[in-house]
Amino acid sequence: MTASSSNQYDVIIIGAGAAGLMCAATAGYRGRKVLVVDHANKPGKKILMSGGGRCNFTNLNSTPANFLSDNPRFCISALKRYTPQNFLDLVERHGIEHEEKAAGQLFCKDSAKDIVTMLLTECDWAGAEIRMNTSVKGIAKETNHYRVDTSAGTLTCESLVIASGGLSIPTMGATGFGYEVARQFGLRVLPTRAGLVPFTLHPELKQQLAPLSGVSCPVDAACNNHHFREPMLVTHRGLSGPSMLQISSFWQPGDALTINLLPDRNIHDDLVSLRKQKPQSTIVHYLAQHLPRRFAQAFNDIYGWSGPLQGYRNSDLEQVSETLGRWTVKPAGTEGYRTAEVTLGGVDTRQLSSKTMAALEHPNLYFIGEVVDVTGHLGGHNFQWAWASGVAAGQAV
C-alpha cells in the first residue's frame, strides 16, 4: 500500500504525553512536518492527573543524581542542554502561575491543565498536527522511510519517535507498545518494574496498623544503601507517602525497609534523660511528644510498652530506641503498575545516542521519555526527563 502525500510526514511521534508533545513542538519550530499519534481520547492525560492535579512540572534542583538507570551517565547530556530553568521560562512566557512547594519542586498554582494547554499551544504555533483516538497496528522500515499502519490509515515518515511511556496506570492508556517496537528493531529492553509506588503489607502488620490509616509522620526510610527523609503515610492498604514512594524505586521483593520514626531525635539519650527527670513518664508519653497521638498509641500497643520509665533498664531503653530508630518492615509487595507513578527499566540506553535519543543501529528511530531506562526520583524529575529527552530528539529529527 502507498501513502498519499497528505499522509507523508517528516516526523511521526507515537504518544501525545509529556515527552511526545515537547518533541513535536521542538521539531515543528524547525520547520519539520510533524504528526503526533495517540490511541487515547485526549493528550497529556498523565500530566492532568499529576501532582494531585497541579502537576509538579519540574524540580529546580534536578541533577543526574536524581535518576536511576542501568547506564547512569546517559541522561547527563540531555538534562544539561534543557534545564529546569528552560522549562520554567516556557511556563512563565505562557503566564502560568506556579509555586515552589518542597525545596525546588515547582507546581501549577491553579491546575495541571495549564501545562497541557501550554504544550498544545506550542504544538499549534509550531504547526505540529495531533491525531487522538488513533491506534497503531504496525510499524515497518522501508527503504528510506518508516511505514506506520494506524486505525486512520497508512502513514509514512522519515523519522519515527516512540514516546509511548511506560506501564504505570494502564487505565490511563499505558501500554508496553514502546518495548515491543524496541524489540522489533533488535533493541534490548531491560526488565521493567513499578516505581514510586505504595507498599502493601502482610496481613498481621496491616491489621495492627489499620487504626492508623490516614496518619502521616516524617520519617527516614532506608533500603539497599539509599534513604529518604520525607513523610510516610499509613493507608488502609499499607505504607505510602513521599518517603515510601521514593524508597520503593530501590526496593526488591523480599527486601526489608529500615524506618527511623524519629529522625530528628537521639532517641536513646532522650529516653535516658526523661527517665532521670520524670521517672513516672512512659514510652507512649515520649512518643506522643514527637509523633501524631494516634500513631504513638498504636505503635506503643504493637510493642506492648507499659509502665513508668523508671522500670526500664538501660538495655530495655536501648531496645526501645532500636525499635523506633530502626523499625524494620518487610513489605508483602507493592501496589504495582495500577498506582505506580513510573516504570523502572525499559529501552536500554546503551543502544541510544545520548545526544539525540536515536537508536545507534537505526538512526531515524528515536525513543524518549519514560519508555527509556531513565527514571527520576519523586518531585518533578520525571517530567524534567520527559521535557529534556523530548527536546533532544526534537532538535535532531
Q: Which residues bind ligand FDA (CB under 6 A)?
A: 14-20, 38-40, 45-46, 49-51, 55-56, 135-136, 163-165, 168-169, 173-175, 177, 341-342, 369-370, 380-383, 386
CB of 49 to ligand FDA, least distance (A): 5
**How far apart are CB 120 and ligand FDA at their closest, in Å?**
13
- Smallest separation (angstroms) from ligand FDA to the CB of 317: 42
Nearest distance in Å: CB 265, ligand FDA: 31
Tell me, rounded to whole angstroms, the distance of Cα 21 from its chain centroid. 18
Give Cα separations from 309 to 68, 265, 272, 281, 326 (angstroms).
45, 18, 9, 6, 21
CB of 165 to ligand FDA, least distance (A): 3
* Residues linked to residue 154 through DSSP beta bridges, in sequence order: 149
Q: Which is nearer to ligand FDA, 168 or 243 (CB)?
A: 168
In this chain, which residue has its C-beta nearest to ligand FDA?
17
CB of 84 to ligand FDA, least distance (A): 11
Q: What phi, psi does 92 have (nearest 5°)? A: -75, -35
For ligand FDA, give the closer residue by CB, 173 or 325. Answer: 173
One-letter amino acid for residue 65 of the chain: A
Tell me if 60 sits within 8 A of 104, measured CB to CB: yes
Report how far residue 73's alpha carbon sits from residue 202's, in angstroms, rounded to the nearest whole number. Answer: 38
Q: Tell me the C-alpha distance between 46 and 344, whole Å.
A: 17
Question: Which is nearer to ligand FDA, 51 or 241 (by Cβ)?
Answer: 51
The Cα angle at residue 46 between residues 82 and 113, in degrees rounded to 5: 80
Shortest Cβ 204–ligand FDA spacing (Å): 30
For the packed helices 18-29 and 381-394, what is the interaxial angle rounded to 10 degrees? 30
> What is the smallest separation between the CB atom of 275 and ligand FDA, expressed in angstroms?
45
Q: Which is nearer to ligand FDA, 83 or 175 (CB)?
A: 175
**Based on CB atoms, which residue is closest to ligand FDA, 157 or 291?**
157
Nearer CB in complex with ligand FDA: 87/286: 87
CA 238, 240, 242 angle in degrees (round to 5)? 165
**How many Å apart are CA 139 and CA 1, to the nearest integer?**
13
Nearest residue (CB) to ligand FDA, 38 versus 122: 38
Our CB check for ligand FDA shows the closer of 249 and 282 to be 249
